[in-house]
Structure 1
């Protein structure tokens, strides 16, 4: 899954390169601004993937294949419904995005065009989240990788074909995304149809059981609140950095890529934790749960330590590669150690998120996120006022550490109750 997650930034790089070949700064700005809007929208509804993974993993642990299939169908139904609503709201979402970002008129127009086309893929995108959640819940990481490669690979190929070869430009890149999501659905659907072809179908009364539907919606609600708080934390970090000047803002943006890169690797272990913990909870087998916690913690910290060492050794080279501005390089170098150690500060939070999602303890995850966010806001303004950008980075580290430790503190109690 680490390899699968790494295909996502590659897609963004290719889309940017395709539009960049057109030589129109407004189109490139529209793509970048529109991508921000979709990051917010789809990161919010990525809860559909997480909740499906946890629920399927538990059903898999109980060896309840009928419930696994029922969960998938429920998730697909919710995804299609939410995606349809997003299509209807596309114009309003584009207007809200233009208002918030406040770009120049040409950029705003390109942004509206891009959002209007790409939002047509909303149901497909969310349904692909559901299929990926089902696959990961069963621990089929290789299949998940294949599906992501097919989806993102076809997206890249179609964006190049439509955007450059056929000359559709920005519209071609947007339609390429729609086509890529469609190919992903067809590939995933074909695999699932073959898998389910000879098995009995679950009854409709079981699929649309009200208690099961409400549980799924509650999980999605809690994970969405957690995602909103996480997005808000990084938005506030960026905003406070902007108050310290353009150079500081630009340097922080460069250094946050360290967390982005580390996050793609740590997310792989978080996904493993989701499946292993959920399976153990479903089977009501405490030794497997304890082993999942310790193994993902051990490997997560080992990987985080390795990433930190690489960032410390090659960080200056990375900064020089990302930006040629001497002022930005100088400021980024001053805060490089803060960014290098962000993987170690965040690894426990990543792992605990995976454990709690797999166990479907979403209310605890939501509450501890809100607690951590409150501590973060207090530290951000207090330490920021006292120590400037050093204070902002310290607050970000505290946020990640409090998230991990607060969840780890209540883990034993939740585990005892689950396996009583």
Structure 2
């Protein structure tokens, strides 16, 4: 206990954590803010199917984007450790590898997704009108996929090198352009669901161009050089690809859970799937906000591991963990007291509002349950220990699938119960794996 208190009282660590976390919280909150604006704009269109189309279309688009999130997480860990070790050449190499992977995967994945769209949307069992509008949304939305992946790679490198303010301006550029064009294309121009998709595409490409410009500026400040001949051999790519493979499998499993919420919710009716989407916007607001502290953990723990400093590692975890707990309690209090207002802000459709009200207690409980998985994800990402993250996620998903099947007779209440237990198991499994690594004194070995 004394060691924990000493770590908590270390003022320089508080300053370091918040110098990274504050801009990341602000930048992360712009991401679900875009989904929130999409929902508000679509929720005030004349038909329930418009909101459902954006909800389902966003879930389908999230499949490749979230599944390829390793481009951000893997890049952060390697960049943070290279910075901790003072290796400028490694920092340059990590950046170019991440950008090349992002561009190649963005183009290939977009081409592969196009013929699969009718089948993916058909799995939602939505009405013909909603299916048609969903496909209209996705045909436009996929044009922004390469830019979205470039933004992942750029953000990961900026976080790992502790340039959190650049990450903030990158995401602000992307998301504020998106929001502004959303309000222009739909209420002003009347372009409906395709207008929402087009706003997102333009925002993503504006963010990517801005990020590439700032990355070029950052490289001019570094020493070292890229070993271009080495990049032609697989050996130089294997550490990054191995970590990215495991993060990919972990993220694919996680995305499967979120996709199943949309899939199973859609089978319970249009109002239910729309209500679940509004509540998930609340969870995303919480997750992306608290992820700012997890991003600080990624950078600081990766730096401590690169520098082989176990004391800095402990202090970063304790300080970020304490603030994460405080933040999760604040989020739970907000949804407990102002949940109805949060729902009403997003839609004026009575059937959707009434459905969402019934499930607000689940949203209130989620921040305190889920916060530990966010924090521990940051530790494992900074340490580039992707295999353990993968294993913990697979155990959690299996438990979720079992509970979703057992509670299927409870309808949407059973679905939310399974999801809450899933989030709890994520934190517990990573905590146990982290404790085992600590017992071996292997974090900074």
TM-score by length of 1: 0.86
CA–CA separation in structure 2 for the residues paired with 1:418 and 1:339: 34
Unmatched tracts of structure 1, length 5 or more: none
Partner of 2:427: 404
Q: Does 2:68 match 1:45?
A: yes
Q: Does 2:389 match 1:359?
A: no
The Cα shift of 1:55 comes to 1.0
Distance 1:255 1:126, change over 3 A: closer
Please give the residue correspondences for 1:33-112 in structure 2 after superposition, counting only pairs within 5 Å: 33-105=56-128, 107-112=130-135
Assess if the C-alpha contact under 8 Å between 1:34 and 1:115 holds in 2: yes
Unmatched tracts of structure 2, length 5 or more: 1-23
The Cα shift of 1:196 comes to 2.2
Assess if the C-alpha contact under 8 Å between 2:182 and 2:196 holds in 1: yes
Secondary structure, aligned partner of 2:442? helix
Assess if the C-alpha contact under 8 Å between 2:54 and 2:137 holds in 1: yes
Secondary structure, aligned partner of 1:185? helix
Please give the residue correspondences for 1:9-408 in structure 2 after superposition, counting only pairs within 5 Å: 9-15=32-38, 30-105=53-128, 107-160=130-183, 170-197=193-220, 199=223, 201-237=225-261, 252-319=276-343, 321=345, 335-382=359-406, 391-408=414-431
CA–CA separation in structure 2 for the residues paired with 1:393 and 1:122: 30
List per-residue Cα deviations over 1:44-69 (Å, max 9, x = no partner).
Answer: 11221111111111111111111111
The Cα shift of 1:267 comes to 1.4
Distance 1:103 1:341, change over 3 A: closer
List per-residue Cα deviations over 1:87-131 (Å, max 9, x = no partner).
Answer: 322421322333223555554444444333332222222111111
Assess if the C-alpha contact under 8 Å between 2:321 and 2:375 holds in 1: yes
The Cα shift of 1:405 comes to 1.6
Q: Bigger relative contact order, structure 1 or 2, given CA contacts below 8 A and separation 6+?
A: 2
My pick for the range that moved more, 144-153 or 194-203, is 194-203
Aligned residues between the structures = 419
Distance 1:306 1:72, change over 3 A: same
Secondary structure, aligned partner of 1:418? coil
Tell me the C-alpha RMSD between the 2 structures.
3.3
Secondary structure, aligned partner of 1:131? helix
CA–CA separation in structure 1 for the residues paired with 2:353 and 2:54: 26
Secondary structure, aligned partner of 1:299? helix
Partner of 2:31: 8
My pick for the range that moved more, 201-210 or 219-228, is 201-210
TM-score by length of 2: 0.82
